[in-house]
């Protein structure tokens, strides 16, 4: 049995943990790690790379990859990638490449959380006619995230033979808004060009979007494309470009069909603690209350936030501007939480 087939079978048996949205500040350009989208969110990533040939012609060649993804629940997500200029496949009649993949998060908390996380990803590459798979892991401590991945390509680049690849990456967050990253991947066996990338990532203030400036020798961001360096265009081995992430929370469109809604409310009644959410920050990082009391969060920012607990607990969904959300805590304990669209926003409720 091929390793990729075995990997797909394992995906149906292993229990998993929580789903999170994606931020480029926690992954390198050619590795997507253990990212799984939240249910009710459609993620659109636009990756655009280009090359300008030497003079006198100076042809401008585009290498875009589009990614659409959503969460299915139980730490399971599905994604579709489409690239308009992929690496050559023997006998291929088109440069277009498409890939559908399923990702199951096995270990780990929210994106950006401390510690170890892992996921498995079975995929099918339509251009190569290949069943592929990836086992990925990352470790985050403070401002550093280390990534690693093992891939099995069932029919590597349409060559009708399986090939494995190893990949690794590193992300260094300079602060809550900027990060530097890089990665390296190599097919095992055969004389193939290693794939590499480097990037500067930015969290756009006041929005759930992230942006990156990148340089790489990878044409398409599929599992196959990011395992081998660009080598079918002669001297073209370096591409420049950018990536932009757009998470769409479907609940934002609820007022279109149910006018008058939009206020995210948990429970009613007086609150023992009020937390104002402003300037991309929870006003009280730590709240202490007694069992049976209520905490209320009020959004003073012009964009949606959420209160998402990291273990067992309620989730607010998007809280609109001027909206509020309240929770009654009936038992003692420590309840850490974060904002799903902005995972660097964190807080904790301590119930005594």
pTM (2 decimals)?
Answer: 0.68
User: Between the CA of residue 62 and those of 76, 92, 163, 196, what are the distances in Å?
Assistant: 32, 19, 28, 18
Q: What's the rounded Cα separation, in Å, for the pair 25 and 282?
A: 20
Q: Enter the tokens of residue 164.
A: 């494995």
pLDDT tens across the length of the chain (352 residues)? 343 333 333 332 232 223 344 678 899 999 988 888 877 788 999 999 998 877 777 778 889 999 999 988 768 899 999 998 876 665 555 688 999 999 998 988 667 778 899 999 999 999 989 999 999 999 999 999 999 999 999 998 878 888 999 999 999 999 988 999 999 999 998 767 899 999 999 988 767 789 999 999 998 899 999 998 876 544 557 899 999 998 887 755 554 454 433 333 456 678 899 999 998 889 888 899 998 888 999 999 888 888 888 766 667 878 888 888 988 888 888 888 888 888 788 899 999 8
Query: CATH number for the domain including 123?
Result: 2.40.160.40
Query: CATH number for the domain including 280?
Result: 2.60.40.420
Same domain, 165 and 270: no
The answer to whether the beta carbons of residues 337 and 266 sit under 8 Å apart is: no
Q: What's the rounded Cα separation, in Å, for the pair 135 and 151?
A: 7
Q: Among 224, 251, 278, where does a domain finish?
A: 251
Helix (H, G, I), strand (E, B) or coil at 11: helix
Same domain, 149 and 215: yes
Local structure of residue 156 (DSSP, 8 states):
G
Same domain, 87 and 136: yes
The answer to whether the beta carbons of residues 277 and 340 sit under 8 Å apart is: no
Q: Among 199, 223, 251, where does a domain finish?
A: 251
Please indicate, yes or no, if residue 257 is contained in any of the structural domains: no
The number of residues in the chain equals 352
The answer to whether the beta carbons of residues 67 and 192 sit under 8 Å apart is: no
Same domain, 177 and 215: yes
Q: What's the rounded Cα separation, in Å, for the pair 81 and 45?
A: 9
Same domain, 278 and 141: no
Q: What does residue 203 show for φ and ψ, rounded to 5 degrees? A: -90, 120
Please indicate, yes or no, if residue 256 is contained in any of the structural domains: no
The tally of domains found in the chain comes to: 2
Count H helices, E strands: the chain?
A: 2, 19
Same domain, 231 and 278: no
Same domain, 269 and 203: no
The answer to whether the beta carbons of residues 351 and 331 sit under 8 Å apart is: yes
> Which structural domain range is residue 212 located in?
3-251
Please indicate, yes or no, if residue 271 is contained in any of the structural domains: yes
Q: Among 202, 225, 251, where does a domain finish?
A: 251
Same domain, 317 and 344: yes
């Amino acid at each position: 049995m091929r390793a990729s087939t075995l990997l797909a079978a394992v995906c149906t048996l292993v229990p998993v943990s929580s789903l999170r949205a994606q931020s480029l500040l926690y992954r390198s350009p050619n590795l997507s790690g253990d990212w799984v989208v939240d249910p009710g969110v459609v993620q659109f990533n636009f990756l655009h790379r280009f090359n300008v040939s030497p003079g006198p012609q100076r042809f401008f060649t585009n290498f875009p990859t589009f990614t659409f993804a959503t969460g299915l629940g139980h730490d399971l997500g599905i994604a579709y990638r489409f690239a308009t200029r992929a690496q050559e496949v023997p006998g291929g009649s088109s440069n277009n490449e498409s890939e559908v993949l399923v990702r199951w998060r096995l270990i780990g908390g929210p994106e950006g959380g401390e510690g170890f996380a892992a996921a498995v990803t079975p995929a099918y590459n339509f251009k190569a006619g290949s069943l592929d798979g990836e086992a990925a892991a990352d470790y985050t401590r403070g401002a550093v995230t280390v990534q690693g991945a093992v891939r099995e390509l069932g029919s590597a680049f349409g060559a009708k033979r399986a090939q494995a690849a190893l990949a690794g990456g590193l992300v260094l967050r300079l602060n809550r808004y900027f990060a530097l990253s890089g990665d390296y991947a190599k097919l095992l066996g055969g004389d193939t060009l290693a794939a590499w990338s480097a990037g500067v990532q930015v969290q756009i203030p006041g929005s759930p979007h992230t942006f990156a400036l990148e340089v790489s020798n990878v044409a398409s961001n599929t599992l196959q494309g990011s395992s081998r360096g660009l080598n079918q265009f002669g001297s073209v081995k370096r591409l420049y470009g950018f990536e932009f992430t757009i998470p769409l929370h479907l609940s934002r469109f609820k007022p279109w069909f149910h006018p008058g809604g939009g206020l995210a409310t948990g429970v009613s009644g007086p609150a023992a603690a009020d937390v104002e959410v402003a300037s991309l920050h929870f006003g009280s990082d730590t709240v202490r209350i007694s069992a049976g009391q209520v905490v209320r969060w009020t959004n003073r920012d012009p964009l949606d936030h959420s209160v998402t607990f990291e273990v067992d607990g309620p989730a607010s969904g998007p809280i609109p501007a001027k909206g509020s959300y309240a929770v009654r805590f009936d038992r003692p304990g420590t309840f850490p939480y974060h904002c799903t669209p902005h995972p660097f926003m964190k807080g904790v409720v301590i119930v005594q």
